[in-house]
């Protein structure tokens, strides 16, 4: 369209004004957008509210300055364990999202949190396909401190070794998601769930703040440590361990601290065991070691005061130990006696054994007296028997052993009686044979009385000890093989009962002693099947 004449200028002015007005309007609109940030939506990170248990809670946020109350956008929270990088939709360990209409506050319900852990979180909103975040805040979940305790262990049954365990779990938040709980056990003092767990229940919510459960399962024979456990929030919680013995079983303990050994001396003093001297496979030794069954550790003590010794005997009276006789460094039989003091870790020489020097004898104590008898003096096998009184440091000869001359027998005491049996016997024509006879000594009457023959095969170099009112003999040499069978003697019924075989390999010339209700056999030597081997392993026995 064209305009001519006098109206053309007016039209041009009007058009210019329209263009200018339009441009000005656009400019003003642009300036308003740049200068008015309140026109953009804003998201604010608000507080954290803990749930009824440490694994859950609520996060709060708020949306403001949406241009239209009907404008719908995704929003929520993100959280992580670090500030670098900040929690975002790309970097987080958890996020919660939902739909929101209009401005106002909102909440995100979260779970799966780890008790006692600090988290960093931010609110977010997605606007125009772009995320906007609030400031970063933090919260710390309450630590979970459950209490787990074994209340009782009972009903161990012979042969099956089934036990019933009653345990209590307390100090729980009601509704806590529990993954599993139960009992775990093993030979280690602190068994983990990876050991032998008995899982009582899985995937439940804690019904109360405390509850009790019972479980039955089969334990291996011997010693086991049991611990209650709880798995919650991807963490494992344990109670204290409780040691338990299923009857008539063996458990291997820490090897003897002095290494391989045979023909040694072993005895106990109070709650500790002792092994010393003997043959290490190449040389005779004089070292002396203490065993702590509670820590299952050996510690070296002062060397035996009499020096190198092979085939000696030992016993304990009260808080003192006694070791003597045997072959010395010159391969000579000896008759010296030495007293060991646990408090000072020192040896003191005492009155020599009266009678001939000897090796391969037996020794034991009854009350406050010690006894040594039998053995080999370098020329002949002995049957004499002697009593030692530490109060006067004197020896008195007692009635000869009624079983006749012998070496490598077993000797121990039960109550106020002494017992000697098995060993290598010598007849009047000096013919040696292996025996299985068993004799009781009464110090009050100074008499020997023959008892029921040992229940196993005849043998020499066996190991023995007593626990309570029962005696035990096992292992030993019955040429051409060594033994691993183990037998219990009941003096009330004068009977032998076979028990679980010794836990280690068959052997002879090991040592045996008892501590409380547990017996120990360790070290020793075997020459079965034409070969020879010296041992350092130590095994613990718990009777029925």
Q: Which of 134-138, 199-203, 423-427, 504-508 has the lowest mean pLDDT?
A: 199-203
Q: Which domains does the chain have, with CATH numbers?
A: 38-140 (2.60.40.10), 147-246 (2.60.40.10), 250-542 (2.120.10.80)
Share of the chain above pLDDT 70, in %: 88
Residue predicted with more confidence, 158 or 116? 116
Give per-residue pLDDT as tens, 333-390.
999 999 999 999 999 999 999 999 999 999 999 999 999 999 999 999 999 999 999 9
Rg (CA), the chain: 42
Q: Would you state the pLDDT for residue 4?
A: 42
**pLDDT(7) > 60:** no
C-alpha 24/C-alpha 32 separation (Å) is 12
Q: Would you state the pLDDT for residue 156?
A: 57
User: How much of the chain is in helix, strand and coil states, percent to nearest 5?
Assistant: 5, 55, 40
DSSP per residue, 464-485: EEEETTEEEEEEEEETTEEEEE
How sure is the predictor about 69, in pLDDT bands with cuts at 50, 70 and 90?
A: low
How sure is the predictor about 65, in pLDDT bands with cuts at 50, 70 and 90?
A: confident
**pLDDT(73) > 80:** no
On average, the pLDDT of the chain sits at 89
Give per-residue pLDDT as tens, 185-203.
988 899 999 888 888 777 8
Which residues partner with 345 through β-bridges?
none
**pLDDT(2) > 90:** no
Q: Would you state the pLDDT for residue 3?
A: 39
Q: Would you state the pLDDT for residue 513?
A: 98
Q: Would you state the pLDDT for residue 244?
A: 85
Burial 76-103 (b: 16+ CB within 10 A, else e): bbbbbeeeeeebeeeebebbbeeebeee
How sure is the predictor about 71, in pLDDT bands with cuts at 50, 70 and 90?
A: low
User: The tokens of 329 are what?
Assistant: 């460094």
Q: Would you state the pLDDT for residue 247?
A: 77
C-alpha 360/C-alpha 312 separation (Å) is 7
Residue predicted with more confidence, 280 or 98? 280
How sure is the predictor about 25, in pLDDT bands with cuts at 50, 70 and 90?
A: very low
How sure is the predictor about 253, in pLDDT bands with cuts at 50, 70 and 90?
A: very high
C-alpha 87/C-alpha 284 separation (Å) is 71
Residue predicted with more confidence, 2 or 543? 543
What are the CA-CA distances from residue 163 to residues 160, 245, 287, 401, 541 (Å)?
9, 10, 42, 45, 19
Q: Would you state the pLDDT for residue 530?
A: 64
C-alpha 423/C-alpha 459 separation (Å) is 6
Q: Which of 68-72, 107-111, 220-224, 449-453 has the lowest mean pLDDT?
A: 68-72
**pLDDT(26) > 90:** no
Give per-residue pLDDT as tens, 432-451.
789 999 999 999 999 999 99
| Closest C-alpha among 313, 317, 380, 303 to residue 346 | 303
Confirm if 124 and 213 have CB atoms less than 8 A apart: no
**pLDDT(497) > 50:** yes
How sure is the predictor about 159, in pLDDT bands with cuts at 50, 70 and 90?
A: low
Q: Which of 40-49, 62-71, 229-238 has the lowest mean pLDDT?
A: 62-71
Q: Would you state the pLDDT for residue 529?
A: 59
What are the CA-CA distances from residue 114 to residues 119, 139, 143, 211 (Å)?
9, 12, 8, 22
How sure is the predictor about 130, in pLDDT bands with cuts at 50, 70 and 90?
A: confident
- Label the pairing between strands 525-526 and 511-515: unpaired
């Amino acid at each position: 369209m064209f305009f001519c004449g006098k109206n053309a200028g007016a039209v041009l002015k009007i058009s210019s004004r329209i263009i200018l007005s339009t441009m000005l309007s656009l400019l003003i609109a642009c300036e308003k957008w740049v200068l008015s940030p309140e026109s953009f939506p804003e998201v604010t990170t608000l507080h954290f509210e803990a749930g009824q248990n440490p694994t859950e809670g609520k996060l709060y946020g708020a949306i403001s300055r949406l241009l239209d109350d009907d404008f719908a956008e995704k929003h929520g929270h993100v959280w992580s364990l670090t500030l670098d990088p900040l929690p975002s939709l790309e970097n987080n360990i958890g996020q919660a999202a939902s739909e929101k209409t209009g401005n106002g506050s909102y909440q995100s319900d979260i779970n799966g949190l780890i008790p006692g852990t600090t988290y960093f979180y931010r609110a977010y909103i997605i606007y125009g396909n772009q995320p906007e975040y609030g400031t970063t805040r933090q919260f710390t979940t309450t630590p979970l401190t459950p209490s787990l305790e074994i209340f009782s262990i009972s009903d161990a049954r012979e042969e099956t070794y089934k036990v019933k365990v009653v345990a209590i779990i307390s100090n729980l938040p009601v509704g806590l998601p529990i993954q599993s709980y139960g009992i775990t056990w093993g030979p280690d003092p602190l068994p983990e769930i990876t050991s032998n767990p008995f899982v009582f229940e899985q995937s439940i919510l804690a019904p109360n703040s405390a509850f009790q459960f019972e479980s039955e399962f089969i334990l291996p024979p011997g010693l086991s440590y049991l611990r209650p456990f709880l798995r919650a929030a991807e963490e494992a919680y344990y109670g204290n361990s409780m040691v338990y013995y299923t009857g008539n079983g063996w458990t291997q303990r820490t090897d003897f601290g002095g290494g391989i050994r045979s023909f040694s001396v072993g005895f106990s003093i109070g709650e500790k065991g002792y092994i010393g001297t003997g043959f290490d496979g190449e040389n005779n030794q004089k070292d002396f070691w203490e065993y702590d069954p509670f820590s299952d550790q050996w510690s070296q003590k002062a060397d035996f005061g009499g020096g190198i010794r092979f085939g000696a005997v030992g016993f304990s009276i009260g808080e003192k130990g006694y070791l003597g006789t045997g072959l010395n460094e010159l391969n000579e039989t000896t008759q010296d006696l030495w007293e060991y003091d646990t408090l000072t870790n020192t040896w003191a020489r005492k009155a020599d054994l009266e009678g001939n020097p000897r090796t391969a004898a037996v020794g034991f104590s009854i009350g406050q007296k010690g006894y040594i008898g039998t053995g080999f003096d370098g020329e002949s096998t002995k049957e004499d028997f002697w009593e030692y009184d530490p109060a006067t440091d004197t020896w008195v000869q007692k009635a000869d052993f009624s079983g006749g001359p012998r070496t490598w027998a077993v000797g121990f005491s039960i109550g106020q009686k002494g017992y000697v049996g098995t060993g290598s016997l010598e007849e009047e024509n000096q013919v040696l044979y292996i025996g299985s006879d068993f004799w009781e000594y009464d110090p009050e009457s100074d008499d020997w009385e023959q008892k029921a023959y040992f229940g196993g095969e005849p043998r020499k170099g066996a190991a023995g000890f007593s626990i309570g009112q029962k005696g035990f003999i096992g292992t030993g040499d019955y040429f051409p093989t060594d033994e691993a069978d183990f037998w219990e003697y009941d003096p009330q019924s004068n009977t032998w009962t076979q028990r679980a075989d010794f836990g280690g390999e068959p052997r002879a010339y090991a040592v045996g002693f008892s501590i409380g209700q547990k017996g120990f056999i360790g070290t020793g030597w075997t020459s079965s099947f034409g070969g020879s081997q010296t041992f350092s392993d130590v095994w613990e026995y718990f009777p029925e």
